[in-house]
Amino acid sequence: MTEHEKDREARLRQVRQGYEALLQRSRQNPVTATAVCCGYTREQVEGLPPEAVAGSFGCGNPLKLSAVGEGQTVLDIGSGAGIDCFLAAGKVGPGGRVIGLDVTPAMIEQAAATAAERGYANVEFRLGAADRMPVDDASVDWIISNCVINLAPDKPAVFREMVRVLKPGGRVAISDIVLTGSLPPEIRTSAAAWIGCLAGAIDQEEYLEGLRRAGLEEVEVVSRFAYDATGVLSLFGEGAEKPSCGCGCSCAPRAPQDRSLTLLAGQLAGKVWSADIRAVKPLQK
């Protein structure tokens, strides 16, 4: 195994362990306010399985950026407990299909159980990593993703995979964490900051250029909002030794134990963004 492969496996293992812990926490202390804050309407949330809402760790609502329609195929990269998949299921209807992809087995198990129990016949969940997706070439009309690609150790590979699985003319709607500038080493090497969707984030222009280099067009940031110092701290929860409550934009921060972390959060205020991004795969000539 190459060093690149070792690093990749170590990072994916860290993500799996972190999100298994977050899922367990959500079962013990379910919170729906996060989903409402992140761009979902209260009506949407109330119409969804509560376990899917409680297990949501997103930073936006990618479906609001999309025009998903009847009979289409939607792929959700990093589907978690399934909140966006179950919303998409209503849009594609019985003639369409929704595929949820996640690297964490516990997430797949819970989401699949929810789909079976609630009768979501047009939704399926697959275990797999975003840079090596178990999805056929040119088979997807829409890719959605909610605060997940920042977690990927090899983002260019993820972008190439997105282009591979999209049909010609297929579209992308992403909510993700991006930066203005770079992060200090203390953040980049923090396990809690990685699980909290901060340490793996990259500069916004690098992100957009990565999508273009992979072959996507009409790449644009539709909207974004900046995290203040309190918001940055919320990505850590209590501090660097404990995982945050995920990427959710209303994760309630608790007083950090590390004063240096507070100072770093102040330096990053206004430089960490939740961005809504759209793109399209060009039609073949």
Q: Answer yes or no: is pLDDT of 270 > 50.
A: yes
Q: Answer yes or no: is pLDDT of 40 > 70.
A: yes
C-alpha to C-alpha distance for 58 and 201, rounded to whole angstroms: 14
Chain segment 251-268, per-residue pLDDT in tens: 433 444 556 778 888 889
Residue 189 corresponds to which tokens in the numbers above? 């090497």
Chain segment 87-104, per-residue pLDDT in tens: 999 999 999 999 999 999
C-alpha to C-alpha distance for 102 and 129, rounded to whole angstroms: 7
Residue 270 corresponds to which tokens in the numbers above? 């206004």
- What are the Cα distances from residue 242, in Å, to 37, 68, 85, 256? 23, 37, 29, 10
Could you tell me the pTM of the whole model?
0.89
Q: What is the pLDDT of residue 253?
A: 36
User: 114 in helix, strand or coil?
Assistant: helix
Percent of all residues in the chain with a pLDDT value above 70, rounded to a whole number: 87
Contact criterion met (CB below 8 Å) for 127 and 105: yes
Strand order in the sheet with 166-179: 123-127, 97-102, 73-77, 140-146, 166-179, 272-280, 217-226
- What are the Cα distances from residue 50, in Å, to 33, 55, 58, 118, 195? 12, 8, 15, 11, 23
Is the alpha carbon torsion for 186, 55, 102, 13 positive or negative? positive
Which of the four pLDDT bands, split at 50, 70 and 90, describes residue 29? low
Is the alpha carbon torsion for 274, 59, 243, 161 positive or negative? negative
Q: Which run of H or of E encompasses 106? A: helix 105-118
Domain architecture of the chain: domains with CATH: 3-280 (3.40.50.150)
Q: Which DSSP state fits 64?
A: G
Give the rounded distance of the alpha carbon of 126 from its chain centre.
16
Q: Answer yes or no: is pLDDT of 140 > 70.
A: yes
